Amino acid sequence: MPQPIGPRLAARDAFMYAAGIGFLFLAKIKNVLQGYSTPKGFELSETDRAVAYDLKVVDEWLMHLNAYAGGKVDVRGKNVLELGPGSDLGVGIYLLSKGAAAYNACDVNDLIKRAPASFYTALIERIGALDPDVDRSFLTAQLESARNGTTSRLRTVVRDDFDLVAAFGADSIDLVFSQAAFEHFDDVARTVQLLTVVCKPGTTIVAEIDLKTHSRWIRVKDPNNIYRYPNWLYRLFWFRGTPNRVRPYQYKKLFEQHGWTRVSITPTEHATGVRGESHGMDGQFRGPNNELEYLSVVLCATKPLL
């Protein structure tokens, strides 16, 4: 039997419920008018910030990979796939500098072509400063080939159907990374199914998943706001890319159902105080299995060897 809450919390829940609907409405209007324009919370014109972001993303992936695999998996010589690359090829260039054989990426939005040359110049200079042994001319050549549409070790595929098998073929991928993309997939089960086909036996995935609401102000004040609404109401504000509200236990179950093993869910950001409570949430999200205190997690899993 749920415990009654005080009038102050009840008033807060009512306010956040109404405010969240307002933000959902604004997000849908923005999408209708502008489409999906920037996956980051800032523009690529903020060059130093954008470069630091891409390097940090890869470094954190490798940190999680090392922790998960005990240092037994490396990017060297690997055919890497990123799900939802976002606004630029910075991640792919950095992975090539670390020895990846090839970088592949798939997205439904063609945003990469908008990245300015000045961003890549700064990125490659920064990578070279971090590792003087890196072949900058090789990275530049691969980038130019990718941007010109000729053969390159940087390969991006834009498909409205997000069909990974059609894009890359079966048993073609050695290592998968993803940064804040899974929460935007319309059909997570299908994505995992396709991923299972394109990955070779022994492939490891490292995916950071942002479980919070995405609108700026309310994301800080009430990060679990999107879980306050029943499905019928949430669907009224749906557009492609709307957070899908899939919780960690559901991701784990989906990967296990498709044969992946050693599925681990590691929280990287926790709610504090009232923000992690289940009161005010829709009934489907109140059970302890939803782990609403988890605001961001890293999922790691392995496709078993035959």
pLDDT category of residue 31 using cuts at 50, 70 and 90: confident
Is the pLDDT reported for residue 2 higher than 70? no
CATH architecture of the domain formed by 40-210: 3-Layer(aba) Sandwich (3.40)
The more confident residue out of 306 and 2 is: 306
Report H helices in 149-262.
Answer: 164-168, 188-198, 216-221, 231-236, 248-257
Domain ranges of the chain: 40-210
pLDDT at 3 over 70: no
- Residues 143, 154 contacting (CB under 8 angstroms): yes
Q: How many CA atoms lie within 13 A of 156 on its CB side?
A: 25
Instruction: Assess whether pLDDT exceeds 50 at residue 1.
Output: no
How does residue 41 score in pLDDT terms, banded at 50, 70 and 90? Answer: low
pLDDT over 90 percentage in the chain: 79
Lowest mean pLDDT among 72-86, 140-154, 267-281, 285-299: 267-281
- Whole-number mean pLDDT of the chain? 92
Q: Is 140's pLDDT higher than 50?
A: yes
Q: What is the mean pLDDT of residues 293-300?
A: 97
Entry pTM: 0.92
- Does residue 75 or residue 276 have the better pLDDT? 75
DSSP 101-151: SEEEEEESS--GGG--HHHHHHHHHHHHHH-TTS-HHHHHHHHHHHHHTSS
At 263 the pLDDT is 98
